[in-house]
Structure 1
Amino acid sequence: MTLDQDPVSIEVAAGVATVSLNRPHRHNAIDDATHARLVEVWEATLDDPEVRVVLFRGEGRSFCSGRDVTQLGERTDGESDHSFIRRFQLLRETQLSSPKPIVAALRGAVLGAGLEMALAADIRIGASDLKMAFPEIGYGLMTDTGGCPLTTMLAGPSRAKWMVMTGRPVDADRALAWGLVDEVVEPERLDQVAGDLAAELADKPQEALSMIKAAVDGIWEGTLRTAMRVELLSQVALFAGEDFKARKQAR
């Protein structure tokens, strides 16, 4: 499969697996095929003994603009909303429980599910052109794969409510001030800076990295899992509500 046919590509070199979302014409929006490929890639990456660090990025102008709106609310083969959301949560949990450090390189649109993927990384490097937002409120929906708890843990409860309740974007400077990214660089330097950091981590003792990650994440792991269950049940109810149906038809 060539790069431009694969919605998610992976390249392993010197202990770093570079995982790239590859739908630049859709700002790397996640459709069903992309989700299925992400499941395959994450499992293969975490099982590969040659991989010590994951660098997560997007091709083109954006990291990820979230769920592809052309498939928003669509279900195949009679799948329930509960089963659908839980499937996506399982992928996020796979990412969160990775014993290998994940560095996210963020540019352009980092929206919705794309922002949730970014916040689930261990370290985030942002380009100065990034825009972070949770636009789900505009459809009468909310986050459902960790957006509320991850934003709360990184930026605080009031800022999490501000983002999820308003849907308004956060630029790079504010994202840095709020703790949503750890460093901001010019767009042309993003891949180099993030790649250098991933390479630096790949050169560290792997067992020590894994234990450090577990020690830090263990502080909030139970709280995060509980909050994601709340998101699951809340989103199921919102998908069934009249607000979502009306707003989706209006768009």
Structure 2
Amino acid sequence: MNYENILIEKEKNLAIITINRPKSLNALNKATIEELNHLLITLESDKETKAIILTGSGEKAFVAGADIKEFSNFNTSEGSQLAAKGQELLFDYVQNYSKPIIAAVNGFALGGGLELAMAAHFRTASSNARMGLPEVTLGLIPGYGGTQRLPQLIGKGRAMEMIMTAEMINADKALDFGLVNHVVEQSELLTFTKQIAQKITNNSSTAIGKAIKSINANYRDGINGFHEEIKCFGECFDTEDFKEGTTAFIEKRKAEFKGTI
């Protein structure tokens, strides 16, 4: 598939996806969501890729929201379908992705952009980053998981205030709230995030996939996270990575994980 709205770069076991719509501040439209879905499906089956960084092109924005022109005339049914399809193709898919996805937030992450960053497994940010959910200024609410993920990350009260006031917060406040893990200068953001990703790729990708599944289970209705952890923990014992990891530990050498079951 030829991508018109995203760029892909690979460095060893790391894939860097850049949303590339600079004229619209990398706003998410239907085509971009579909391209991201297609690429993520491809990378999930790529054994060489062990971690993914998701970022935006240019210095102004990670993703400055959704493309409002695409849904300005929608009715109730069409709006519901828009949210459901987007969550299925991208936002829920990213959250439950078996390989770690880090959002490197450069500049504005607003509306659907912040929702995409929150769907990632964790976030780094540039010092000039600005984040917010301004949907109520359009007569809408966040529709790509923002009302659910923001309270999980920063607490109900803070999320209520951010959503109802539609105000943006800066990178330092996002760090204080726990919305992002690290803040660095924009010129250092990608290099810094790559360093974290490389540390991840040194570890067992099968174990990391099980850890993602176990952690996410705590946020799913009707699922007992502790039971899911026990199940995933047990499944690790039947993997080649477990055999390699324990053997390397006993032999006092660095493990060479292949990410196979």
TM-score range, shorter chain: 0.7 to 0.9
Match of 2:16 in 1: 18
| Paired position in structure 1 for 2:207 | 208
CA positional deviation for 1:126: 0.6
Flag structure 1 segments of 5+ consecutive residues without an equivalent: 225-251
The answer to whether residue 27 in structure 2 is matched with residue 29 in structure 1 is: yes
Letter in 2 for 1:191: L
Verify: 1:184 aligned to 2:183, yes or no. yes
Aligned length: 219
Contact 1:14 1:199 in 2 (8 A): no
How far, CA to CA, are the matches of 2:159 and 2:202 in structure 1? 35
Q: Residue 133 of structure 2 contacts residue 167 of structure 2 at CA under 8 Å; is this kept in 1?
A: yes
Aligned to 1:57: 55
Structure 2 counterpart of 1:86, one-letter code: A
**Residue type at the aligned position of 2:12:** A
CA distances 1:61-83 after superposition (whole Å, capped 9, x unpaired): 210001022324356xxx83222
Q: TM-score, normalised by structure 2?
A: 0.79
Q: What does 1:16-165 align with in structure 2 at a 5 Å threshold?
A: 16-61=14-59, 62-74=61-73, 80-90=78-88, 91-165=90-164
The corresponding residue for 2:248 is: none
SS state at 1:63 partner: strand
Deviation at 1:36, TM superposition (A): 2.0
- Partner of 1:233 in structure 2? none
Q: Is the 8 A contact 2:9 2:17 kept in 1?
A: yes
Q: Distance in 1 between matches of 2:78 and 2:45?
A: 30
CA distance in 2, matches of 1:171, 1:81: 30
C-alpha deviation, 1:144, in angstroms: 1.1
Say if 1:127 and 1:187, in contact at 8 Å, map to a contact too. Answer: yes
- SS class of match (1:214): helix
Could you list the runs of 5+ residues in structure 2 that have no partner in the other structure? 224-261
What is the letter of the counterpart of residue 64 of structure 2?
S
Distance 1:124 1:223, change over 3 A: farther
Q: Deviations over 1:109-129 (max 9, x none)?
A: 100011001011112111010
- Paired residues of 2:125 and 2:180 also in contact (CA < 8 A): yes
Distance across 2 between alignment mates of 1:103 and 1:152: 19
Identity of aligned residues (%): 29
In our comparison, the structure showing a higher alpha carbon Rg is 2
The alpha carbon displacement at 1:44 in A equals 1.3
2:227 counterpart residue number: none
CA–CA separation in structure 2 for the residues paired with 1:194 and 1:82? 35
Q: RMSD of the alignment, in Å?
A: 1.9
Q: What's the CA shift string for 1:127-167, capped at 9, x where partnerless? A: 01000011100011001111111110110000110111111
2:27 is aligned with what amino acid? A
Matched, 1:6 2:40: no
2:228 is matched with: none
d(CA) in 2 for partners of 1:84, 1:7: 19
Alpha-carbon distance in 2 for matches of 1:33, 1:24: 15
Shift of 1:223: 7.8
Cα distance in 1 for partners of 2:173, 2:166 equals 15
The residue identity in structure 2 corresponding to 1:21 is I
Aligned counterpart, 2:216: 217
Amino acid at match of 1:133: G
